[in-house]
Amino acid sequence: MLVTGHTGFKGAWLTLWLRSLGADVTGLSGPPPTAPSLFELARVGELCADRRGDVRDADAVLQAVRAARPEVVFHLAAQSIVRASLDDPAGTYETNVLGTAHVLGAAGDAAVVCVTSDKCYAPGDRPHREGDPLGGRDPYSASKAAQELVAAAHREALGGRVATARAGNVIGGGDWARDRLLPDLVRARDSGEPVVLRHPDAVRPWQHVLGPLAGYLLLAERLAGSPEFASAWNFGPAGTDARPVRWIVDRVRERWPLDVRTDPPREDVEAPALRLDASAARERLGWAPRLDLPAALDATVSWHDQVRAGADARTVTLTQIEEAA
């Protein structure tokens, strides 16, 4: 298996899960995007062939694929932060769009699960289905919509066995990314500084990282067996788990003392509500989210409490994988 983005939040969880299933994993990524990181704390580099390379470099991607000779490629490497994409739109497109073209171009006959985002859709009122129009009102979202187009063209014109996976607002232990809600709450708890909510009423389909990762694994298995699964798939929680930011913060405050402030409302690119319809994945792949939202929040808070108290991050993560698998 080849996992791009294995030094990131989801890639580190995925690499640990694949290794616990006995898979050989090669990782191709830049450095861990945060300090601390799950990758470092759980010593994920010891468990895989840990290659460092830039997906914007076609030759580096080709060399990694040649070395790994993978049956399956999980492509997660990305500039993954909306606000960073406002500062560097071109860099975001280079990594997310050109990088995807390089990965698909190098993958040959391998099945590719290409991870995009629920943000690839044009804003709409009802839960998004896979056939809905693509869009994106900020560079990150547009890059994820473009990644979808690149994958579809590769599949349709070049015969590549590629599926895309659209999920969003993933939570779980070991995420310290900037400008994401749960990592902001973790930092606020650790520092005692106030946490400022920018969009308290924004509704998001929150889900534990193990939900979409279970979807990527199922999709890879089906895709390796049959090209009929080479299409786009939503992985989202039950409708009741699409909740406003404020609801999440109130639940976490029951466990952690947090000083919460709210920015004055302002116009910007954040959509007020975003929901996914994952019925295709449920019906055709037999997928279901692993944890409902209260359980997902509990697992996330517990992960950080245990690691802060000195528990080994790899053990805590593998235990949560085993409990939810």
Shortest reach from residue 134's CB to ligand NAD, in Å: 15
**Strand-pair partners of 50:** 27
Q: Which of 41, 48, 68, 77 binds ligand NAD (CB under 6 A)?
A: 77
- For the record, the structure tokens of 90 come out as 């071109």
Q: Is residue 7 a contact residue for ligand NAD (CB under 6 A)?
A: yes
Binding-residue pattern over the window 110 to 139 for ligand NAD, x denoting contact by CB under 6 A: -----x-x----------------------
Binding-residue pattern over the window 165 to 194 for ligand NAD, x denoting contact by CB under 6 A: --xxxx------x-----------------
Shortest reach from residue 313's CB to ligand NAD, in Å: 15
With contacts defined by CB under 6 A, name the span among 2-10, 186-194, 224-232, 247-255 that binds ligand NAD. 2-10
Shortest reach from residue 192's CB to ligand NAD, in Å: 25
Q: Is residue 95 a contact residue for ligand NAD (CB under 6 A)?
A: yes
Residue among 76 and 162 whose Cβ is closer to ligand NAD: 76
Residue among 276 and 316 whose Cβ is closer to ligand NAD: 276
Q: Is residue 30 a contact residue for ligand NAD (CB under 6 A)?
A: yes
Select the residue whose beta carbon is closest to ligand NAD and give its number.
8
CA dihedral 173, 82, 101, 159 (to 10 degrees): 70
Going by C-alpha positions, the residue among 188, 237, 229, 233 that lies closest to residue 210 is 237
Residue among 61 and 285 whose Cβ is closer to ligand NAD: 61
Residue among 76 and 186 whose Cβ is closer to ligand NAD: 76
Residue among 9 and 229 whose Cβ is closer to ligand NAD: 9
Q: b/e for 38-54, b at 16 or more Cβ within 10 A?
A: bbbbbebbebbebbebb
CA gap 182, 252 in Å, rounded: 9
Residue among 53 and 160 whose Cβ is closer to ligand NAD: 53
Other CB atoms within 10 A of residue 58 CB: 16
Strand-strand pairing, 162-166 and 242-244: unpaired
Going by C-alpha positions, the residue among 147, 138, 145 that lies closest to residue 86 is 138
Give me the residues that bind ligand NAD (CB under 6 A), please: 5, 7-11, 29-31, 33, 54-56, 76-80, 95, 99, 115, 117, 167-170, 177
